[in-house]
Structure 1
Amino acid sequence: MKRNRSLQLYMKEHLSLYIFVGVIFITGVVFGAVMVGALSPEQKQEILRYLSNFFSSVEQGVFTDVKSSFQQSFALHIKWILIIWVLGMSVIGLPLILILDFLKGALIGFSVGYLVGQFSWPGLYFALVSVAPQNLIIIPALLICSVTAIAFSIHLVKHRFMARKGTFYEPFMRYCGTVLVSGILLAGVALFEAYVSPVMMKWVTPMLITIAS
Structure 2
Amino acid sequence: MSNRKITTSLNEHLQQNFWLYVISLFCVFTGIVLGIYAVKYMNNVENSDLLSYFTNFNQNISNGDFKYSMIISDIIKNNISIILAVWFLGLTMVGIPIILIIDIIKGFTLGFTISFIVKGLGTKGIGVILIGILPQNIIYIPCIIIASVVAMEFSLSILREKMNKQWVSSIWMKITSYSFIFILISVLMGVGFLLEAYATPNLIKIII
Judge same fold: TM > 0.5, yes or no: yes
2:94 corresponds to 1:105: no
Unmatched runs of 5 consecutive residues or more in structure 1: 206-213
Which of the residues 189, 192, 196 maps onto 1:193? 196
Aligned to 1:144: 146
Contact 1:74–1:186 (CA<8 Å) still a contact in 2? no
Q: Distance in 1 between matches of 2:188 and 2:159?
A: 30
Aligned with 1:163: secondary structure? coil
Find the aligned partners of 2:187 and 2:28 in 1 and give their Cα distance.
22
Note the residue ranges of structure 2 that are not aligned, 5 or more in a row: none
Match of 2:8 in 1: 5
List, as ranges, runs of 4+ consecutive aligned residues in structure 1 with deviation greater than 6 Å.
none
Matches of 1:15 and 1:167 in 2, distance apart? 26
Q: How do 1:32-181 residues align onto structure 2 when only pairs under 5 Å count? A: 32-63=35-66, 65-163=67-165, 167-181=170-184
The CA deviation at 1:164 is: 5.1
Deviation readout 1:108-150 (Å, 9 max, x if unpaired): 0001011112222111111112210100111111000000000
CA–CA distance in 2 between the matches of 1:115 and 1:70?
22
State how 1:17-28 maps to structure 2 within 5 Å: 17-28=20-31
Residue 5 of structure 1 deviates from its aligned partner by 2.4
**Change in 2 beyond 3 A, CA 1:188/1:2:** closer
Q: Percent identity?
A: 27
The residue aligned with 2:186 is: 183
Quote the residue 1:209 is aligned against.
none
What SS does the corresponding residue of 1:131 show, helix, strand or coil?
helix
Deviates more, 1:152-161 or 1:26-35: 152-161
CA distance in 2, matches of 1:94, 1:193: 29
| Alignment length (residue pairs) | 204
TM-score normalized by the length of structure 2 = 0.92
Q: TM-score, normalised by structure 1?
A: 0.90
CA separation in 1, counterparts of 2:173 and 2:97? Answer: 24
Tell me the distance in 2 between the aligned counterparts of 1:87 and 1:69: 27
Structure 1 Cα separation of the partners of residues 126 and 177 of structure 2: 39
* Partner secondary structure for residue 8 of structure 1: helix
Q: CA deviation at 1:102?
A: 0.1
CA-atom RMSD in angstroms: 1.6
Match of 1:89, SS state, is helix
Task: State how far apart, in whole Å, the 1-side matches of 2:5 and 2:83 are.
Answer: 29
